[in-house]
Amino acid sequence: MPIRSIKQLALNGKKVLVRCDFNVPLEAGRITDANRIDASLDTIRYLLAEGAAAVLCSHLGRPKERTTDLSLKPVAEYLSQALGHKVTLAPDCIGDITGRMVVDLAPGHALLLENLRFHPEEEANDRDFAHELARGKQVYVNDAFGTAHRAHASTAGVTRFITERAAGFLMLRELEALRALTENPAHPYVAILGGAKVSDKIGVIRNLIAKVDAILIGGAMAYTFLRAQGENVGKSRVEEDKIDLARELLAAAVKHNVAIVLPIDHVVAESIEPGPTVAIAREIPADRMGLDIGPATVAEFVERLRGAKTVVWNGPLGLFETPEFAHGTLAVGEALANLDGVMSVIGGGDTAAAVAGHPWAARFSHISTGGGATLEYLEGIELPGVKALEV
Ligand code: AMP
């Protein structure tokens, strides 16, 4: 069913509830990565320019109760700077005082509601809470792709009470990129998967096996697959209870004529402690663990990417937070970014964090703001936050 764009809505003079994803990392009250806020600015600017009164809302972190640490105050300050006019923070997301502020909000102005998750009813998708959240707004806009895989009051329940609804520009960009991966993707189509656990990616692998031409696997999850092939992986991280499943997935790939490409060499160390002594190994010694893909694997992965028309990447290829183990992720990332004629989509989360700040990262077709949502979409699961926007 169709989803409307905010461009299709009459916005002038309307109070618009805008679900944003302002769930940004904070250190001592300072925002350390504002990408998610920046990604929604064009939606907010458009709403204001069209004469809407924008009531912005978001969750931040996982508060058990109201706490100043997880107040959206730093976000209100950041938005005020970025938009060039003051964005006031309401004391709550519902209630009389906030309700009055919404009534008084003039067209062309923005108000930020306080952290939605200060109320457990938000995650419980409580009907009354959703009703309260909707009070006084005539239009609902969802731009929070990063939370689209959750059926919460602000992402799903609220649409029972506001019928005029649409996706913001960020949500539309995210969905367009994901559609390119699932609806008639251009071939050759290659998936790169990494990260800590096979268990997180089983659904994705199952679903992608029917769609892609090759899956390149790195990160810790590769070791469970290598064990399934009978290789020695030393002290590398292995999910013992997933070895049979890895074997099954390898067999399914053969059946579908999909190449699963595993590392052929590794950057190894004794432990994950900082300042490690590292070595490159084809065979992992019994007292070492594999913490990054080695140079021969990088070359093999890059070779497999050459000529690809569609590439999706989810999960770092090594313990990238430690510089000694970041090379594989960065080398493959840079090579992919520099390929011509390819639709390259970077799943959010750790993969986006790993490539962030490198000048070549601007050359990917799309870097998602939602790791969990992207994964669920790639598993073939319908996203409730998207479903709720259908009209
Ligand atoms: P995920 O959340 O599943 O995408 O996993 C990301 C995490 O996996 C990151 O913190 C990486 O440092 C970690 N990781 C990637 N490769 C390895 C590895 N070979 N050994 C241990 N951890 C790894």
From atom 10 of ligand 1, which residue's Cα is the shortest distance away?
A: 319
Buried b (16+ CB within 10 A) or exposed e, 303-315: ebbeebebbbbbb
- Label residue 307 left, alpha or beta by phi (over 0 means left) and psi (-120 to 50 means alpha): left
Residue 280 belongs to what H/E stretch? Answer: strand 279-281
pLDDT band at 107 (very low <50, low <70, confident <90, very high): very high
The candidate with the shortest Cα–Cα distance to 91, out of 112, 74, 105, is 112
Known active-site residue 304:
no
Lookup result for tokens 């602000």: 154
Closest ligand 1 atom to Cα of 201:
3
Q: Which residue among 314, 319, 321 has the greatest number of ligand 1 atoms within 8 angstroms of its CB, and so is best to mutate?
A: 319
pLDDT band at 275 (very low <50, low <70, confident <90, very high): confident
Q: Which listed residue (36, 165, 242, 304) is catalytic?
A: 36
Closest ligand 1 atom to Cα of 223:
19
Over the stretch 25-38, which tens digit does the pLDDT of each residue have? 999 999 999 999 99
- Label residue 150 left, alpha or beta by phi (over 0 means left) and psi (-120 to 50 means alpha): beta
Known active-site residue 372:
yes
Indicate the pairing of strand 110-112 with strand 53-57. parallel
pLDDT for 273 beyond 90: no
pLDDT band at 215 (very low <50, low <70, confident <90, very high): very high
pLDDT for 1 beyond 80: no
From atom 4 of ligand 1, which residue's Cα is the shortest distance away?
A: 195
- Label residue 114 left, alpha or beta by phi (over 0 means left) and psi (-120 to 50 means alpha): beta
User: What pLDDT is attached to residue 288?
Assistant: 97
- Calculate what percentage of the chain has a pLDDT beyond 70: 100
Known active-site residue 349:
yes
Ligand 1 centroid, distance to 196 Cα (angstroms): 4
The candidate with the shortest Cα–Cα distance to 239, out of 262, 221, 254, 212, is 221
Over the stretch 221-238, which tens digit does the pLDDT of each residue have? 999 999 999 999 999 999
Tokens of 316: 């770092």
The candidate with the shortest Cα–Cα distance to 75, out of 66, 67, 83, is 83
From atom 14 of ligand 1, which residue's Cα is the shortest distance away?
A: 319
Comparing 242 with 348, which gets the higher pLDDT?
Answer: 242
**DSSP state at residue 324:** G
pLDDT for 326 beyond 80: yes
User: What pLDDT is attached to residue 322?
Assistant: 95
Pocket-forming residues, ligand 1, beta carbon under 6 Å: 194-197, 200, 219-220, 237, 290-291, 315-316, 318-321, 349-350
The candidate with the shortest Cα–Cα distance to 118, out of 64, 72, 76, 69, is 64
pLDDT band at 349 (very low <50, low <70, confident <90, very high): confident
User: What pLDDT is attached to residue 206?
Assistant: 94
| Separation between Cα atoms, residue 264 and residue 110, nearest integer Å | 54
User: What pLDDT is attached to residue 201?
Assistant: 93
Indicate the pairing of strand 26-27 with strand 30-31. antiparallel
Over the stretch 282-310, which tens digit does the pLDDT of each residue have? 999 999 999 999 999 999 999 999 999 99
Question: Domains along the chain?
Answer: 6-172 (3.40.50.1260), 184-379 (3.40.50.1260)
User: What pLDDT is attached to residue 274?
Assistant: 82
Q: Which listed residue (197, 247, 363, 387) is catalytic?
A: 197
Known active-site residue 387:
no
User: How many CA atoms lie within 13 Å of 335's alpha carbon, on the beta-carbon side?
Assistant: 20
Mean pLDDT of the chain: 96
What type of residue sits at position 182?
T
Q: Which residue among 350, 368, 374 has the greatest number of ligand 1 atoms within 8 angstroms of its CB, and so is best to mutate?
A: 350
Lookup result for tokens 């050459």: 306
Over the stretch 138-175, which tens digit does the pLDDT of each residue have? 999 999 999 999 999 999 999 999 999 999 999 999 99
User: What pLDDT is attached to residue 178?
Assistant: 94
**247 Cβ partners below 8 Å, 6+ apart?**
228
User: What pLDDT is attached to residue 57?
Assistant: 98
User: What pLDDT is attached to residue 188?
Assistant: 98
Residues 4 and 11: beta-carbon distance below 8 Å: no
Average confidence (pLDDT) over 102-123:
98
| Separation between Cα atoms, residue 262 and residue 240, nearest integer Å | 18
| Separation between Cα atoms, residue 1 and residue 3, nearest integer Å | 7
Closest ligand 1 atom to Cα of 316:
15
Ligand 1 centroid, distance to 319 Cα (angstroms): 5
Closest ligand 1 atom to Cα of 292:
19
Ligand 1 centroid, distance to 192 Cα (angstroms): 14
Is 184 exposed, middle or buried, given 0-12, 13-18 or 19+ CB atoms closer than 10 A? exposed
